[in-house]
């Protein structure tokens, strides 16, 4: 089966990862790339300040970048759109594509917490895709909108999902986030070299709300948020890719460290092309200084989660976790949702 796809915002930090991940994809054929008015009409090679560690695929380099509106994309005859636009732009243009009947798998934060929009990680809550039927009824769209969570949320939530069998009660998380998470022109070198910035606008609230929706229960009509209290503190540091997070959790049960590691390592992955065989890898006591961004962000091609440092504390447990923010945390997450949409017959 072949599905023609397009990327909205294809020239940015996440858009470039989409291009890389779609190269040689067994199902998706890239047929359209869009960006801002300044890039429209240029070839992809001219428009993109390419920062990915593999060359631009030859068949993409010469593609014409078109404007981000349904009229400009119509000739490409695509079945599925991946969106990596700034959220303010996405909030305006995604509805226009949805009204035209497009299925959109989006990274942008607008509408992630909307009651009729599935916020989905295929290995964690694939059943939330059922919200699409509610969404179509309520909004009258022939298309469908599915969102993936923020990059810092997706790094932590698979480990929380694994811990939920022990009764997840409270979560405190402190992040060390890479500069690529702010987009190509997000943080200047003068701001971040020799520095750390203890604030990322809106990020803490996203972690605190999105994780409860992802872990929530879907009853066929709505998602009931998970009861756990989640508190986040988000920090930008001068790494390029890979968000590292220190998690402190309180659980109803009192599992041993071995039981915690086993729950994480045994957490089931999804049977989709881009899902890793083992979703969460956990370092043991013999490697207490792992995971690290430079060493571990490419685990499972950047689609896996890596954890370590599991310890008991006076109040519960603590551990560290890490994921590649523009792969697992962004383009790879949308791509995986696209694969789920195809698998479930929405495309």
Task: By CB under 6 A, name the binding residues for ligand NAP.
Answer: 9-15, 35-36, 38-39, 68, 84-87, 89, 107-109, 150-151, 180-181, 183-184, 325-326, 329-330
The active-site residue out of 128, 226, 243, 324 is: 243
What minimum distance in Å lies between the beta carbon of 255 and ligand NAP?
31
The nearer residue to ligand NAP, 261 or 328, going by C-beta atoms, is: 328
Sequence length of the chain is 347
What minimum distance in Å lies between the beta carbon of 200 and ligand NAP?
11
Q: Which residues pair with 173 in a beta bridge?
A: 232, 247
Q: Does the annotation mark 234 as catalytic?
A: no
What minimum distance in Å lies between the beta carbon of 112 and ligand NAP?
10
The active-site residue out of 128, 151, 234, 321 is: 151
Using CA atoms, how far apart are residues 155 and 149, in angstroms rounded to an integer? 10
Q: Does the annotation mark 25 as catalytic?
A: no
The nearer residue to ligand NAP, 90 or 168, going by C-beta atoms, is: 90
Q: Give residue number: closest CB to ligand NAP.
A: 12
The nearer residue to ligand NAP, 118 or 309, going by C-beta atoms, is: 118
The nearer residue to ligand NAP, 13 or 129, going by C-beta atoms, is: 13
Q: Which region holds residue 31: left if phi is over 0, alpha if psi is between -120 and 50, else beta?
A: alpha
The nearer residue to ligand NAP, 185 or 286, going by C-beta atoms, is: 185
User: Angle 194-200-203 (CA atoms, 0-180°, nearest 5)?
Assistant: 145
> How do the residues of the chain divide into helix, strand and coil, expressed in percent and rounded to 5?
35, 25, 40
What minimum distance in Å lies between the beta carbon of 39 and ligand NAP?
3
Using CA atoms, how far apart are residues 305 and 299, in angstroms rounded to an integer? 7
What minimum distance in Å lies between the beta carbon of 173 and ligand NAP?
16
Q: Could you tell me the two tokens for 201?
A: 């606008």
The nearer residue to ligand NAP, 85 or 279, going by C-beta atoms, is: 85
CA 165 to chain centre: 24
The DSSP code sequence of 61-89 is HTPBEEESSHHHHGGG--SEEEE---HHH
The DSSP code sequence of 161-218 is HHHGGG-EEEEEEEEEB-GGGG-TTSS-HHHHTT--BS--TTHHHHHHHHHHHHTSEE
What minimum distance in Å lies between the beta carbon of 258 and ligand NAP?
33
DSSP state of 130: G
- Residue numbers annotated as active site: 151, 243
């Amino acid at each position: 089966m072949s599905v023609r796809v397009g990327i909205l915002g294809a020239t940015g930090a996440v858009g470039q990862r989409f291009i890389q991940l779609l190269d040689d994809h067994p199902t998706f054929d890239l047929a359209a790339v869009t960006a801002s008015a300044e890039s429209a009409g240029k070839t992809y090679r001219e428009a993109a300040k390419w920062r990915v560690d593999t060359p631009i695929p030859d068949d993409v380099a010469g593609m014409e970048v078109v404007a981000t509106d349904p009229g400009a994309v119509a000739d490409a005859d695509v079945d599925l759109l991946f969106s990596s636009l700034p959220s303010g732009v996405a909030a305006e243009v995604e509805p226009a594509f949805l009204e035209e009947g497009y299925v959109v798998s989006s990274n942008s934060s607008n509408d992630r917490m909307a009651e009729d929009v599935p916020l989905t990680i295929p290995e964690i809550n694939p059943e939330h895709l059922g919200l699409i039927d509610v969404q179509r009824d309520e909004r009258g769209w022939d298309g469908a909108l599915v969102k993936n969570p923020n990059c810092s949320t997706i790094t932590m939530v698979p480990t929380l999902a694994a811990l939920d069998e022990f009764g997840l009660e409270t979560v405190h998380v402190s992040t060390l986030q890479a500069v690529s998470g702010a987009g190509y022109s997000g943080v200047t070198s003068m701001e971040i070299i020799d520095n750390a910035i203890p604030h990322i606008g809106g990020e803490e609230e996203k972690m605190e709300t999105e994780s409860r929706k992802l872990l929530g229960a879907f009853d066929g009509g709505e998602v009931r948020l998970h009861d756990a209290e989640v508190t986040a503190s988000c920090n930008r540091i001068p790494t390029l890719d890979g968000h590292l997070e220190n998690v402190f959790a309180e659980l109803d049960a009192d599992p041993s460290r071995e039981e915690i590691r086993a729950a994480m390592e045994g957490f089931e992955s999804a049977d989709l092309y881009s899902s890793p065989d083992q979703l969460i890898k956990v370092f043991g006591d013999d490697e207490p200084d792992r995971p690290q961004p430079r060493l571990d962000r490419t685990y499972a091609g950047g689609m896996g989660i890596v954890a370590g440092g599991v310890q008991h504390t006076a109040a519960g447990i603590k551990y560290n976790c890490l994921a590649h923010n523009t792969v697992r945390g962004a383009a790879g997450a949308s791509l995986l949702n696209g694969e789920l949409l195809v698998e479930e017959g929405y495309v």
